[in-house]
Amino acid sequence: MTATPYNRHMQRVLAWLGEQGVRPSDLRATYESLPLSPGVPNLLKFLSKHRRLFELILISDANVFGVEAKLRAMGARSLFRKVFSNPAGVDGRGFLTLGPFHSHRCPRCPANMCKGKILREYLEQRAGEDVEFQRVFYVGDGANDFCPAEGLRPGDVAFPRKGYPMHRLILQEPPGTFQATVVPWESALEVERSLQELVQGK
């Protein structure tokens, strides 16, 4: 039996929730109350304090409705120059609907989103605007975070959540093939400490 892709599964879930009388306002309240991973509030405070040093984007295979709701509830939306997530909207029935982010040819990623393509295109766009980054830091945990991390260069840093799919896939790579420095984390406080060391070294 083939598993239903996550994006398509969530389309069905949202339609079912709408049929049960769950409104977009109910879903917004749920998204706003979702707990963050350990250490993330501290990491966001650190990044806010040093926002002139980092340009932040967020790439999520969730949906723009939920991601934006959570960021705004935390007062953190302004930290991110760009949010990339699956489009969501309210249809004529008042149901929250979900679509794919884009199409791509990456065999590693789900059909609705290739985070590696998103990151590459963003970096290319910024280079075309004469913005050059000294290095890229990529924080993630899912299997779909491996693709963009795999494209990082020497000098860049991948922060995989310890024991999660992104970390396991990195560990499966033959020695010497993964170019970026790898810093696994259990709490985002470990990410903050790594970035703090960089800031203090400036």
Contact 183, 159 (CB under 8 A): yes
Known binding positions for Mg(2+): 141
Handedness of CA 60, 64, 66, 70 (dihedral sign): positive
Backbone angles phi, psi at 21, to 5 degrees: 95, 10
The beta strands (E) that lie in the chain are given as: 56-60, 80-85, 88-90, 96-98, 137-140, 157-160, 181-182
